Amino acid sequence: MPPAPALPLLLFLATLATGAAAAAEVDALVSFKSALTVPPAAAPFFATWDAAAADPCGFAGVACGGAGRRVTGVSLPGLNVSAASVPFADLCAALPALATLSLPENSLAGGVGGVAACAALQELNLAFNGFDGAIPDLSPLAKLRKLNVSSNRFAGAFPWASLAAMPDLSVLALGDNPFLAPTVAFPPEVTRLTNLTVLYMSAARIGGAIPPEIGDLINLVDLELSDNNLTGEIPPEIAKLTNLTQLELYNNSLRGGLPAGFGKLTKLQYFDASQNRLTGTLAVLGSLKRLVSLQLFFNYFTGGVPPEFGDFKDLVNLSLYNNNLTGELPRSLGSWAKFNFIDVSTNALSGPIPPDMCKQGTMLKLLMLENNFSGGIPATYASCKTLVRIRVSKNNLSGNVPEGLWALPNVNVMDLAGNHFTGTIGDGIGNATALTNLLLAGNRFTGAIPPSIGNAASLETMDVSGNELSGEMPESIGRLSRLNSLNIEANGIGGAIPASLGSCSALSALNFSRNKLAGAIPAELGNLPRLNFLDVSGNELTGAVPASFAALKLSYLNLSDNRLTGPVPEALAISAYGDSFIGNPGLCATNGADFLRRCTPSSGSRSANAARLIVTCILAVTAVLLAVLGVTLYLRKRRRAEAEAAGALGPGGAKLFAKKGSWDIKSFRVLAFDEREIIEGVRDENLIGSGGSGNVYRVKLGSGAVVAVKHVTRARAAAAATAAATAAMLPAAKARRTASARCREFDSEVGTLSAIRHVNVVKLLCSITSEDGAASLLVYEHLPNGSLYSRLHGPEARKLGGLGWAERHDIAVGAARGLEYLHHGCDRPILHRDVKSSNILLDESFKPRLADFGLAKILSGSAAVDSSAGVVAGTLGYMAPEYAYTWKVTEKSDVYSFGVVLLELVTGRPAMVPAEECGGESRDLVDWVSRRLESRDKVMSLVDARVTEGWAREEAVRVLRVAVLCTSRTPSMRPSMRSVVQMLEDAAAAREEDAPPKLLEVKVI
């Protein structure tokens, strides 16, 4: 024991040491903060982080403990702070007592190697950031109890062996790291962590079967293994996990039935095994009385829904769609709790709809389409004002629809199509102010469309086709400013077409066919700027085809089988609309169209006839003189070109065109080069790409400028046509004739495309054609940043850096505007027919240009039906599903393909998702995404992990919603490109206005 006089000195020294340690910790935390970029919203949180403070224990988010008041915890959750790298090593060295480091839901990036130096850590939470690189060996963190590194961009193998050093680990969360190295088998180190209560390994690329040892983790409360490559059966040992409240196994390749002992999991509240290959019945689930949410869709379950489900007092969410279930639903299903969601679509269920699922007044969605349900819609749902979606189409339902159902204020989709409903459309429909889709096709509704329909201001799609409706169309329908598609086909509706429809400026599709409409077609329809589908065939319409129709950009027009008379506007009397006027003997053409009779000229005076004769003679003489002049100039040019072509092999390597001959250049822009400079640059060493239509060369001109030159050979076109015809079992001779016709049309088609002037369409500078017509060169502007595909998926994405979300959104909007121009801005619609990320090129500022548009059309003839051409229009993964059985390409096909591009931008994945990410079988991106849209959390997990900022991920979800609309299986449900442009611009409106983005639901339509 030291002498008494020494004690004050020791205390003084201890105080100095404590003060020095506290000062060092203050310095370390202030230095740590300086490495962060703090947004204005988080500034108040850091207001207490004062560099002059005596100790850091008063800092927000900082905890101190122990005798020396050392820092034991740093917690900065959800502040949206960002950093290119975090100085973990310095922080750990300065805070030796740090037990908790929690930095979730920020925008932090870089590696985390230094975190292993925090040897005292008991909790490490780095979730929902953008950390990348390898996760280091975590063995030094032997005291760790909670480890959460989920939702980052970590790559390489997870250090599974490190887990052996953490026997007290209770929480292990490493899911949503799509770049981790895949495992062939379930990591055995995990099943040895017997103290685990939470195991979250969803979307962590785990392979193999779930091992029987999973049953050793008897303390588990939450087990999540979704979105992996798991195979085999669910092991019976899982029944040992009697403390489980949540079990997530969706989107794997699990097979077999639910284990016999599964019913022992009586504490289970949330169970999701959707999107697997599970079979058997659901009987074993009858004892799980605490279930809150049950999702088993996209499996192969058979049998009935257990009657015990009707007694589940906590069940609020039931998704069993796309199975093979039969029998009836329990009558009391959903009547106990605040039930909000049922989807049992696409099964073989029968019987009545349970009447009390909205008994608590909280139900949001009633989805029971594609079954054999019978009876009527229970009257109880007429007062369910919380409903936002009713879809009971394709059943055997009958009777009158409850009157109040029409007037529900929050319903946005009412789908009753394909049943046997009778009665009238209720007048209360005018109160359905949120209704966007009214789908009543294929029923037995009678009476007239109520005038109150004009008050349903949000209506976008209305399909009442195939009913027994009568009366006249109400003028009030013209008040529906958002109406995009209107279909009344196959009814008995009479009277005139309302002129007020001309006010529905959003209309893109009108189908009035097979009714009793009479009178003239209103000229106001010609003022609809977005209209591209019009069918009024099979009516009793009279009068002329309105001259205003000449301004429409229609991809489909059908006026057949009416009583129309007079001349057809010249813009419509073209071969593209050759079948549009059948059954109207009174129609004629003034431009000589061979599918219409020639209009008879009015008889004129003798002097008028003489004047016409004189003009004809003058024109004939002029034509002869011009022909002679043209031949003379051609011969002179040929002799000069032959002399110039003598030096066919120039320095620097072999040229592609080594024979003598002349070339014809057609310029579409002001050129600073001639054909010789281009031809000499088409060399093997300048080849930068190759495709079905020809090779592409990068040619540097003498001025230093660079252009892209595509070499299109007629032989290649003919060979492609013949091969495709053979594959399609068409006669080869027919294919040769088709190819010959295409070659003759090449120049005129290029002339059409050369007239396109749009900032988001690649510029065609000129075409250069050989004398014998065997080859053509198309000279385009050169885009230095390559294609969108290469920037998203190619090596350039890793070598040169990927695309941030702001750039991705700008590319989406720009490409959409270019495609909108092709569909709606040209004299005649141009269908791209091969929209894909590799055909979207990026300039030096990453502004997009559509490329190769129309080329498939040039080589394939008709833009509407491809069966005659024998050439497949599109690329695997991008082709609309209806193309497989119709061989028809419309503007909606382009919209579908563009939707796939949007999915690529949002998810960062290619149009065909590799087999290793899909359990051994590759899937197209649309299918891959559609299997992950059942909840908000799962939708967020679809967003590319490289998009880390919170605002950007929210905006990406908004774009994802647009993509889902574009890739709808039903073409008529897809929006027009004009609508797509508007929706994409709206998606960024919150960013521009600095307002919090509205959370959107994403669901397959």
Q: List, in sequence order, every residue forming a beta bridge with 169; answer none if it has no partner.
A: none
Q: List, in sequence order, every residue forming a beta bridge with 667; answer none if it has no partner.
A: 766
User: Tell me, what amino acid is at 424?
Assistant: T
Rounded distance between C-alpha atoms, residue 933 and residue 941, angstroms: 10
Q: List Cα–Cα distances, 436 to 120, 433, 459, 463, in angstroms.
A: 57, 9, 4, 11
8 Å CB contact between 155 and 133: yes
User: Tell me, what amino acid is at 344?
Assistant: V
Complete edge-to-edge strand list for the sheet that includes strand 694-700 = 663-667, 764-770, 775-781, 706-713, 694-700, 687-691
Residues contacting 143, CB < 8 A, separation 6+: 99, 119, 120, 121, 122, 168
Residue 547, phi then psi, degrees to nearest 5: -65, -25
8 Å CB contact between 421 and 446: no
What DSSP assignment string belongs to 596-657?
A: SEEPPPPP--HHHHHHHHHHHHHHHHHHHHHHHHHHHHHHHHHHHHHHHTT--S-TTS-BS-
Residue 545 DSSP code:
P
8 Å CB contact between 533 and 513: no
- 115: which 2 tokens? 């975190």
What DSSP assignment string belongs to 782-833?
A: --TT-BHHHHHHSHHHHHT----HHHHHHHHHHHHHHHHIIIIISSS----S
Rounded distance between C-alpha atoms, residue 747 and residue 750, angstroms: 5
8 Å CB contact between 166 and 147: yes
Residues contacting 340, CB < 8 A, separation 6+: 316, 317, 362, 363, 364, 365, 386
- Alpha carbon 333 to chain centroid, angstroms: 35
Rounded distance between C-alpha atoms, residue 488 and residue 495, angstroms: 13
Rounded distance between C-alpha atoms, residue 458 and residue 408, angstroms: 13
Residue 205, phi then psi, degrees to nearest 5: 60, 45
Residues contacting 721, CB < 8 A, separation 6+: 735, 736, 738, 739, 742, 859, 869, 870, 871
User: Tell me, what amino acid is at 203?
Assistant: A
- 196: which 2 tokens? 């685990």
Strands 82-83 and 107-110: parallel
Calculated CA dihedral for residues 331, 334, 337, 339, nearest 10 degrees: -160
Q: Residue 734 annotated as binding?
A: no
Is 311 catalytic? The answer is: no
Q: List Cα–Cα distances, 298 to 278, 325, 792, in angstroms.
A: 9, 12, 30
Rounded distance between C-alpha atoms, residue 132 and residue 128, angstroms: 12
To which H or E segment does residue 209 belong?
Answer: strand 207-209
Number of C-alpha atoms within 13 angstroms, CB side, residue 620? 6
Rounded distance between C-alpha atoms, residue 761 and residue 780, angstroms: 11
Rounded distance between C-alpha atoms, residue 947 and residue 496, angstroms: 53
Rounded distance between C-alpha atoms, residue 173 and residue 501, angstroms: 57
Rounded distance between C-alpha atoms, residue 45 and residue 33, angstroms: 12
User: Which member of 55, 227, 463, 834 is catalytic?
Assistant: 834
Task: List binding-site positions for ATP.
Answer: 710
- Please list the active-site residues: 834
Task: List binding-site positions.
Answer: 710
